[in-house]
Amino acid sequence: MKIVSYNLNGIRAAVTKGLYTWLKEENPDILCIQETKAQNGQIDEVEFKRYGYNCYWFPAKKKGYSGTGIVTKQEPLHVEYGMGIEKYDDEGRFIRADYEGFSVVSVYHPSGTSGDERQAFKMQWLEDFSAYVQELRKTHDKLIINGDFNICRLWIDINKPENHEDVSGFLPEERHWFQRFIDLGYTDSFREFNSEEKQYSWWSYRAGAYQKNLGWRIDYNIVTENLKSELKSAFIRNNLRYSDHCPVGIEIF
């Protein structure tokens, strides 16, 4: 089974750049999408359905903002929209699909780059997200959490780390949270297979960052440790530019 996560920074814009061509070639079993930036009814599902996918969307209340989705060949047993916390669910940040024996999450963690208020929102989200997922594991013990975490976990996950320690996305308290989260019983799937530097999933549109590979690894496929032995591979498709992010994925089971 191939599961891919992709922050599209606007699904309608990504479609005009060739998203469906990539989808046909990549052929994931499950595609987790972040930043759809579209309301229900604004996404043309014809091509998704042509390739055999069922589509589930969780938009933000604010138009043109945030939003998550799961596109899946296998019809889920259940789809859960949100975490039941209004201030987060209003931003469409979490959607879960349950299958026989495992569950898949598409999540879009907040960014704190716009100022102190949103950074505080982000830090509170991180604590609430951890608590929610830990409670969820009592009934859904095999989780595959895919998405844009808006945090570089390790020093090798960002270009010139010494220049970014005071920047949202690489703050010490954010990295400390991420390690605490991993220590609760999760695996960063990509780092199970690849320990190299300069393996990024996001590049600023400014100053030729992509061409210079001045990127950040902020997109993840995190699995509960009880799935670690079933991981077959993990990858970053850093040659794709339908967004300022690129797809990241795993093969499992």
Catalytic machinery residues: 148
The Cα 118–Cα 155 span in angstroms is 24
Picking from 173, 182, 175, the residue whose alpha carbon sits closest to that of residue 156 is 175
Picking from 189, 192, 213, 212, the residue whose alpha carbon sits closest to that of residue 201 is 213
The Cα 2–Cα 74 span in angstroms is 12
The Cα 74–Cα 61 span in angstroms is 28
Q: Which two tokens stand for residue 17?
A: 């750049």
Q: Are 175 and 153 in contact (CB under 8 A)?
A: yes
Q: Are 175 and 249 in contact (CB under 8 A)?
A: no
The Cα 241–Cα 253 span in angstroms is 29
Given CA atoms 201, 31, 235, 190 in this order, what sign does their dihedral have?
A: positive
Q: Which two tokens stand for residue 149?
A: 């975490």
